[in-house]
């Protein structure tokens, strides 16, 4: 497993993490990386469901 490269530039540092994570996904069984992804995504879906927003307000936000 490669080590995560750090960087002073935030954009580059983010990209380094994207590469690091893609490397993890590539070199581990689907069941392993997906369990971590599931924690992240399921918590976001749970938050979204509890956040009540009307159709009108949502579409207004999307226009901006």
CA dist 60 and 22 (Å) reads 35
- Does position 6 interact with other proteins (CB under 8 A)? The reply is no
CA-to-CA dists, residue 43 to 6, 32, 36, 49, angstroms: 27, 18, 11, 10
Shortest CB 23 distance to other proteins, Å: 7
Shortest CB 62 distance to other proteins, Å: 8
Name the residues that contact other proteins, by CB under 8 A: 11, 14-15, 18-19, 21-23, 25-26, 29-31, 33-38, 40-42, 44-46, 48-49, 51, 53-55, 58-59, 62
């Amino acid at each position: 497993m490669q080590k995560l490269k750090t960087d002073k530039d935030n954009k580059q540092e983010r990209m380094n993490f994207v590469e690091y994570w893609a490397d993890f996904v590539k070199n581990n069984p689907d069941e392993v990386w997906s369990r971590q992804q599931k924690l992240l995504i399921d918590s976001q879906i749970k938050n979204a469901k509890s956040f009540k927003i009307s159709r009108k307000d949502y579409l207004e936000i999307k226009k901006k």
